[in-house]
Each structure stands twice: as C-alpha cells, then as structure tokens.
Amino acid sequence: MKPLRATALDAAAFAPFGEVIEAGAATRQFPINQGSTVRYHDLARIDPGEDGHAIVSIFRAQPRALPFEVSMLERHPRGSQAFMPLSGRPYLVVVAPPGERPATENLRVFLARADQGVNYAAGVWHHPLLALQAESDFLVIDRAGPGANCDEITLDEAVYIDLG
Amino acid sequence: MKPLRATALDAAAFAPFGEVIEAGAATRQFPINQGSTVRYHDLARIDPGEDGHAIVSIFRAQPRALPFEVSMLERHPRGSQAFMPLSGRPYLVVVAPPGERPATENLRVFLARADQGVNYAAGVWHHPLLALQAESDFLVIDRAGPGANCDEITLDEAVYIDLG
C-alpha cells in the first residue's frame, strides 16, 4: 500500500472540492448586534439540489487509529454535505475530484483543525468521517429529497494515511 | 426592572419557538459508515422560505456581563435561524412567541449547554446572541434571499437576566 501524506487544510487547496468553513476564509465579514458580534458571512455553498432541501444532523464518530487504510470513497451526486467539528479535535479529510472513477493518485488528504469545517460540493468523492483522538461530534448540513444520493466505490489500490 | 429567571434549555420547553439541536433530541438515529458513526438525523426545520436559500456563517460573539438588561428583541419573518455553539461554552437564549408585539410577561429565558444549538422558527422573537464567559463562535444557518428579513422592537418594559 502507498502512503498518503496529509497537508494542512486551507481554503485555496480545498477549492476544487468545496469550501472550508472557517472565519478566516470569509470574503465578507461585518459587525452586527450593536457591535457585539462579527458575522463571517456565507461560508459554504449549501446545495440541496432543485428537488431537495437542507437538513441539519449531528454525526457522533468514533476515532480512527493511524495508520488508517483508505480502500473506498463515497459521493453524494444530488447535493452538498458540510461537516463542522463540535468537539474541539482535529480530523482527516480525504477527497478526490468529481468523475466516474477517481484514480488513487488523485486522492488528497487534509488535516483539518478543530475550528475548520468542510463542505463537499455535490459529486465530490470523499471518505466517510475520520475523527481522531476520541469520540467526536460534528454538525452536518446535507440534503433530504427524492432519489438515490450515495455512490460508493472501492479503490483499485488501497492507500494508507499516517501523520508520521 | 423585573428579573427574568433562566431555565435549562430542553426540547419540550423550546418547542413553541423552534428546535433544540442536540443528539439527545433526535427522533431518528442510526449507525452509518460501517458502524463507526451514529447519525442523529434531521434535528431542525431549516426554513429559508419559498424564495430564499440556506446559508452558513460563523458569528463571533463577545460575552455579555450579568446581570444583562433585555430591552429589545428581533425576528426574521422570512426564514429560520439556527445557532450551534463551537467554543464549548454555555449561552443564553431569550425568546417570545410570534405575534405583532410580544408582552414582557411572555418572554422566556433558557440557559443552553455548550452542546445544544437552537433553531428559531421564522417569525419567533429572540434576543441577539448572548455569549457568556468569553468570546465564542457559533455556526449559524439562516436565509439569504430577497426582501427585508429583520424586524426589531423595543420592549415596553425592560427586564434583566441574572443567573443568581
């Protein structure tokens, strides 16, 4: 198995896959509530599709042990899916560009900080949630609506992630 | 000024105003991702209105000092607004039922735990964000779209909140 090196998550590197949800990535920010609060505005393209609607759920994830073997990916063709960490712990993000069958060499691994969420654009291949260190909750904003909305593939060649 | 006593936030008490976003309030929960994660499903009625869409922002709020005087409320007639704490600290929720002019005696104050979000239904009067203890971030899911979507009123009689 090949090793896959994680790089720090940032908005520019993640742009082909969706958005990083963090205050620092905001293109618009402004004071509200008589100056007591700053609004970092509209950080993700929430896309429930034409016939769906956005829903909010909590995912409670068991931590993964490293090195972790990545042998499959999934995608949601009909809508975006956003994850925001609630438990103050970093996590791993594994993605591949949209397309029928992602090549192993096109996988990217990001180490997300505890204050960074991600929003996968519709159709972006990604690994299911990879919590680290301890059981962790995430707020998830995705789609409800008609039609099948989850494809899974097994990679031709498994890879493994290790932080070293 | 009259004192207003905060009670612990729970889904049943908050039901007239919207939903509490917490794993424990889920009516549906199921394992996903080969059993590594539990999905607490569809915890809030995200309502961007017929002509709007849901957006995600971060609010960075300065903490309020107690006792805190409540002299105004606001409402968003065209859509829901959800807040999920990201900084691991409790906060205060002040609400009043929909209607043209909330009476001071109908105000309710809830003390939310760090793992509880709230979703205000469209038209529900509420006080702007009341962080406690230290600067705190919240993930906010509300509406973008045409038309004015914020009404403010000054209460006939100010009240104050103190935790004692």
Give the pLDDT band of residue A99 (cuts 50, 70, 90).
Answer: confident
CB contact under 8 A, A36 and B129: yes
* Three-class DSSP labels, A102-121: CCHHHCEEEEECCCCEEEEC
Contacts of A33 in chain B (CB under 8 A): 61, 128-129
Give the pLDDT band of residue B99 (cuts 50, 70, 90).
Answer: confident
Whether the predicted pLDDT of A116 surpasses 90: yes
The closest CB to that of A137, out of B23, B32, B41, belongs to: B23
Confidence (pLDDT) at B92:
98
Confidence (pLDDT) at A70:
96
Confidence (pLDDT) at B164:
62
CB contact under 8 A, A84 and B86: yes
Whether the predicted pLDDT of A145 surpasses 80: yes
CA distances from B153 to B13, B66, B73 (A): 24, 22, 6
Q: How many domains does chain A have?
A: 1
- Residue B162 token pair: 């103190």
Whether the predicted pLDDT of B58 surpasses 90: yes
Residue-range definition of the domain harbouring residue B124: 2-161
Instruction: Encode pLDDT of A38-55 as tens digits.
Output: 999 999 999 999 999 999
List the end-to-end C-alpha distance of chain B, in Å, as a whole number.
Answer: 16
pTM: 0.97
For the domain that residue A154 is a member of, what is the CATH number?
2.60.120.480
Residue with tokens 């230290």: B134
ipTM value:
0.96
Measured between CA atoms, how close is A38 to chain B, in angstroms? 5
Confidence (pLDDT) at B126:
98
Residue with tokens 């002299």: B71
By C-alpha distance, the chain B residue nearest A54 is B46
Contacts of B40 in chain A (CB under 8 A): 57-60
Q: How many CB pairs under 8 A join A and B?
A: 128
Distance from chain centroid for Cα A49: 18
Confidence (pLDDT) at A71:
95
Task: Kindly report whether the peptide bond that precedes residue A67 is cis, defined as omega within 30 degrees of 0.
Answer: yes
Instruction: Encode pLDDT of A129-141 as tens digits.
Output: 999 999 999 999 9
Question: Is B26's Cβ below 8 Å from some Cβ in A?
Answer: yes
Label residue A98 left, alpha or beta by phi (over 0 means left) and psi (-120 to 50 means alpha).
beta
Instruction: Encode pLDDT of B115-153 as tens digits.
Output: 999 999 999 999 999 999 999 999 999 999 999 999 999
By C-alpha distance, the chain A residue nearest B52 is A53
8 Å CB contact between A2 and A104:
yes
- Residue B125 token pair: 């009067």
Contacts of B139 in chain A (CB under 8 A): 21, 84, 117, 139
Give the bridge partners for A112, in sequence order.
A91
Give the pLDDT band of residue A98 (cuts 50, 70, 90).
Answer: confident
Instruction: Encode pLDDT of B25-54 as tens digits.
Output: 889 999 999 999 999 999 999 999 999 999
Question: Is B27's Cβ below 8 Å from some Cβ in A?
Answer: no
- CA dist B128 and B71 (Å) reads 11
Question: Is B2's Cβ below 8 Å from some Cβ in A?
Answer: no
Give the pLDDT band of residue A164 (cuts 50, 70, 90).
Answer: low
> Which carries the bigger pLDDT value, residue A9 or residue B163?
A9
Give the pLDDT band of residue A7 (cuts 50, 70, 90).
Answer: very high
Average confidence (pLDDT) over A120-134:
98
Mutant choice from B56, B70, B87, B140 vs A, greatest count of A C-beta within 10 A: B56
